[in-house]
Amino acid sequence: MRVLQFPLELSALVLLSLAVGSCAHKEPKSEHEIEVQRALQAAAYHCAPAVESFTAQRKQAWAQKVLGGVPGYQQLFEAHSYEDLQQTLSGGGDDAEDKTIMGCTPISETHIQNNTCVLAPEVTEGPYYHTEGHLIRQNIAELQDGLLLMLDIGVIDVETCKPLPNVLVDIWQANATGHYAGHPLPHPHLANENPQVGGQRSGLLSAFPRTVFEETWLRGAWPTDRNGVAQFTTIFPGYYTGRATHVHTKVFPEWSVLPNGTFKSGRLSHTGQFFFEDDINIVVDKMHPYTENPIRDSRGRTRNWRDSLNIFEDSHGPEGKYNPVFKLHLLGGVVSQGLVGYITMGVNASASYDNFWKG
């Protein structure tokens, strides 16, 4: 079998993302909430092999797309490392090939554990969600400048371990300098428009309500295909005070198209947030226009481990074994040519959560 690999694997072993941001909980959690979480965790663990093969197939499809038709390119980037190359040359055999196919990690070495974080999603959509108006489209970038980022988001039902077709994946994110479409810029000279000092919300600004209704950039939703995958074209997100670099998501198993190209949401099955490795965040921060972030020199970027409300930390689960981070690969030979990020969300397709932010 032909082994195709992207030149660089940037992230840790992340195969399953479960209600990451949902971990921004209101203390204390109720017994019931904890029960629900534990049940989902157990279900997610049970799906790990299904998620693994799901991801491997998607990687292969991307590799063919990216590398296809460029003679010699595959050979050039076939190996991850010198060590891998040695193995290939010495005829590592089918087994070795299977293990390194597209850089996929064998399931025995993944970090999926029963402590994968899943909570009821009331808080985590944050103040920048729009209850109406996200367009159904794959390219959400509009005229926003930034590093090309393709997202390959898989959705799997933790009750059946099967990919979920035709569920709407809604995403929204900040632009390269940390702003959300529709929300005004904060005024640093006003005391109440400065980030909070200390406490759980340390670094966070108070919510700025939507006022610019016509802005739609970096917001969009797309249904999963028959293989349970929704792909998006966007830019790598920028950061704002208090929060680690992230992308928001919601999953709707029930939805309908409105005449103006937006959707009417039905049942909500999942609310979460995706993250990026700090290694790649550091690199992107040095690229234009990310360097123009107004808080770059004053407050700087919030590292994943310092994320407000413990959203990133909590998403690793009580034993810290789980990692809700995009697996990233270069789309070309160098970072500035763009990245593709994979993630698989384990959702409970029959669950139904309230679809609004309660602060």
Ligand X SMILES: *[C@@H]1O[C@H](CO)[C@@H](O)[C@H](O)[C@H]1NC(C)=O
Residue in 108, 211, 260, 298 binding ligand X, rule: CB under 6 A: 260
Residue in 8, 13, 39, 283 binding ligand X, rule: CB under 6 A: 39
Count the alpha carbons within 13 Å of 172 in the hemisphere toward its beta carbon.
25
* H helix intervals, 144-223: none
Site for ligand X in 282-311 (CB under 6 A): 289, 292
Site for ligand X in 195-254 (CB under 6 A): none
Quote the CA–CA distance of 35 and 188 in Å, as a whole number. Answer: 43
- State yes or no: residue 56 binds ligand X (CB under 6 A): no
- Nearest-10 Cα torsion for 327, 332, 335, 338: -70
> b/e for 133-161, b at 16 or more Cβ within 10 A?
bbbbbeebbbebebbbbbbbbbbbbbbeb
Contact window for ligand X (CB under 6 A) among 54-62, 173-181, 248-256, 299-307: 173-181
- State yes or no: residue 5 binds ligand X (CB under 6 A): no
Task: Give the number of residues in contact with ligand X, rule: CB under 6 A.
Answer: 26
Site for ligand X in 114-133 (CB under 6 A): 114, 132-133
Which three-class secondary structure state does DSSP give residue 143?
A: coil
Count the alpha carbons within 13 Å of 198 in the hemisphere toward its beta carbon.
0
Contact window for ligand X (CB under 6 A) among 16-24, 50-58, 258-266, 327-335: 258-266
- State yes or no: residue 45 binds ligand X (CB under 6 A): yes
Beta bridge partners of 235: 148
Q: Can you say how many angstroms the Cα of residue 168 is from the centroid of all Cα atoms in its chain?
A: 15
Q: Which is nearer to ligand X, 95 or 297 (CB)?
A: 297
- State yes or no: residue 158 binds ligand X (CB under 6 A): yes
Residue in 5, 87, 177, 273 binding ligand X, rule: CB under 6 A: 177
- State yes or no: residue 149 binds ligand X (CB under 6 A): no
Contact window for ligand X (CB under 6 A) among 51-59, 176-184, 246-254, 324-332: 176-184
Q: In which residue are the tokens 């917001």 written? A: 219
Q: Which is nearer to ligand X, 176 or 325 (CB)?
A: 176
Residue in 12, 42, 76, 85 binding ligand X, rule: CB under 6 A: 42
Structure tokens at 74: 């595959």
Q: Which is nearer to ligand X, 32 or 95 (CB)?
A: 32
Q: Which is nearer to ligand X, 100 or 262 (CB)?
A: 262
Q: Answer for the pair 226, 165: CB distance below 8 angstroms, yes or no.
A: yes
Q: Which is nearer to ligand X, 55 or 265 (CB)?
A: 265
Q: Answer for the pair 135, 262: CB distance below 8 angstroms, yes or no.
A: yes
Quote the CA–CA distance of 8 and 40 in Å, as a whole number. Answer: 32
Q: Answer for the pair 140, 171: CB distance below 8 angstroms, yes or no.
A: yes
Residue ranges that bind ligand X, judged by CB under 6 A = 39-40, 42-43, 45, 113-114, 132-133, 144-145, 158-159, 175-177, 179, 185, 258, 260, 262, 289, 292, 348, 350-351
